[in-house]
Amino acid sequence: MTDCTVYYNPACSKCRALLVLLQERGIAARLVDYLRTPPSAQELADLVRRLGDAAPQLLRRDDSDYAGLGWGEREPAAADVAAALQRFPQLLQRPVVVRGERAVVARPPELALDLF
């Protein structure tokens, strides 16, 4: 049984650091390579719900696809975040750790420890 789910990109150094951190603490994780297996609309909606007011942190704002969404400086609503990630999975900020009803964008990776 896993203790948490990690949405990650294996090419990302922050993701690799998080996996080492979890392993060192004996925390089992279900890994989801979000680029190979994009989360469903329901999974994205659940992720956004778990993050609450922090949902906009899920978006990689330095990506050209983000600029194309036309939001300018305004913070997107939760529904907008989920819709953008469904359309552009590469916009997902990584790594994201989910445990129970809570989630965190683990940048830096040590932020994930708040869930345990």
CA 15/CA 9 separation, integer angstroms: 6
Q: Is the link from the previous residue into 109 a cis peptide, with omega within 30 of 0?
A: no
CA-based nearest residue to 59, from 24, 83, 26, 29: 83
Could you count the other beta carbons within 10 Å of the beta carbon of residue 59? 23
Catalytic residue (one of 2, 10, 11, 12) = 12
Residue 15 annotated to the active site:
no
Residues with a known catalytic role:
12
